[in-house]
Amino acid sequence: MINKNLVFLSYGAESELRRAIFCILSFYAWSDTQDIENSRIVIYTDHPEFFQIYLKETNIEYVLMTPALMEEMLGGTGFNHRRKIACIDLTLKKYPEDDLLFIDSDTFFINDSAKLLNGLARDHAFMHMREYTFKEGLAIFTGFNQGKFPQAFIDYISGRDLMIGGRAERFTENDYGWNSGVLGLHRSFAEYMPDVFRLNDEFYRNSEWFISEQLAFSLILQRRTDLRPANEFILHYWGKRQKLMMDQFLIDLLNKYPALELKDKTLIRTYTKKWKFSVEVDVIQEKAAIALTFGSWVYGTRKSLQVMMKDPFNLNNYKELIAAAVQKR
């Protein structure tokens, strides 16, 4: 009996659609028959026909993202990530007896999904991972000349009562933000969805921070549930450089194998393990190259050594690091 919904929001470029397709294939590869039978895949997309080339399962439901629906989901805010909240809200309303796992397209499963799927409860929830305090976030974004956004957010929440489930809560710069690439929610969380919409809209209106939707989920979930990380089960390759790398991997994979062969669990698991390694190395490599380019020799050297230890025989890594050091700004 279906009692869980895996929700995807995937529209626009084919690269975005391919990412979601592989995430779904990885879910099938890392899940047992019972968990698959108990789960419904709900895909909000403008191109259901593209998914249907690769996904023939009967437990997949498509919600067509028409221009009118996409505009309605924005709620007059102009904030694209508000659509994530809207997809979650629509699904919880349509299936009030089912728990929900929202997964960004730029992800894939890397471990047995059972603990994640069966770990949802009224007082237990998942987000992808805890990232930083808002104070730490200010320092990070200031480094990219975007400090005005977290500063405006901190100014807005400081000393202010925020209503969650009818109760006032206060937050400070020392509270944490969590990444919303994964959101595992018990069906009872539906009662807090109006608060998610309201806080998201308040945060975006007063700070214009592009992570306002994950800030809203972060604050509510960490005060109302035992919030747990999901990165043990799902890898999230959110960086631009890693997305470009994965996009090429996915083109090659989908061109190489017919749809039927992509159901092979061993095959897909092999790729998830291989690509997990590639993404992890590339994240470190990128940090090393940036540090060397800007003359941060201690940090850059430390990260370079990490790359060499993880992937010692990849000559391209060495070439990039040398080039970065030579091009020091």
Q: What is the CATH number of the domain that holds 66?
A: 3.90.550
pLDDT at 307: 87
Indicate the range of 218-227, 284-293, 320-329 predicted with least confidence.
Answer: 320-329
Same domain, 216 and 319: no
My answer on whether 284 and 215 are in the same domain is no
- Has residue 328 got a pLDDT over 70? no
Torsion, CA 20, CA 243, CA 179, CA 44, rounded to 10 = -20
Number of structural domains, the chain? 2
* Alpha carbon distance 284, 298 (integer Å): 14
The answer to whether residue 195 sits within a structural domain is yes
**Which has more confidence, 134 or 329?**
134
| Angle at alpha carbon of residue 90, lines to 167 and 83, rounded to 5° | 85
- Tell me the angle at which helices 240-256 and 14-29 cross, rounded to the nearest 10 degrees: 70
How far, in Å, CA of 253 to CA of 83, rounded? 29
pLDDT, residue 324, reads: 84
Which of 182, 214, 236 lies at the terminal end of a domain, its last residue? 236
Q: Give the model confidence (pLDDT) of 57-111 as tens digits.
A: 889 999 999 999 999 999 999 999 999 999 999 999 999 999 999 999 999 999 9
Query: Would 267 be classed as within a structural domain?
Result: no
87 in the same domain as 25: yes
Looking at the structure, do residues 142 and 49 belong to the same domain, yes or no?
Answer: yes
Instruction: Say yes or no to pLDDT of 329 above 80.
Output: no
Q: 253 is written with which tokens?
A: 């994979």
Q: Identify each DSSP E strand in 94-193 by its residue range.
A: 99-103, 107-109, 124-133, 162-164, 167-169, 176-185
Co-location of 203 and 63 in the same domain: yes
Using one digit for the tens of pLDDT, what is the confidence trace for 241-268?
A: 999 999 999 999 999 999 999 999 999 9
Domain boundary among 184, 216, 236: 236
Does 223 score more than 90 pLDDT?
Answer: yes
Classify residue 202 by burial, with Cβ atoms within 10 Å: 0-12, 13-18, 19+. middle
What is the C-alpha to C-alpha distance for residues 283 and 289, in angstroms, rounded to an integer? Answer: 10
Alpha-carbon distance of 164 to 260, in angstroms, equals 47
Residues 227 and 289 in one domain: no
Quote the pTM value. 0.95
Q: Are residues 161 and 290 in the same domain?
A: no
Decide if 119 is inside a domain: yes
Same domain flag for 294 and 179 = no
Residues 150, 298, single domain; the answer is no
Q: How confident is the model at residue 327 (pLDDT cuts 50, 70, 90)?
A: confident
Please check whether residue 182 lies inside any domain of the structure: yes
Do 96 and 11 belong to one domain?
Answer: yes
Does 95 fall in a domain? yes
Decide if 158 is inside a domain. yes
Task: Report the pLDDT averaged over residues 206-218.
Answer: 97
- Asked if residues 199 and 219 have their Cβ atoms less than 8 Å apart, the reply is yes
Asked whether residue 251 is assigned to any structural domain, the reply reads no
124 versus 1: the higher-pLDDT residue is 124
**Is 250 contained in some domain?**
no
Lowest-pLDDT choice from 206-210, 236-240, 312-316: 312-316
Q: Are residues 159 and 48 located together in one domain of the fold?
A: yes
Q: 290 is in which domain, residue-wise?
A: 277-326
Of 28-32, 67-71, 153-157, 304-308, the range with the lowest mean pLDDT is: 304-308
Q: Are residues 65 and 124 in the same domain?
A: yes
Average pLDDT, the chain: 96
**How many Cβ atoms sit within 10 Å of the Cβ of residue 287?**
18
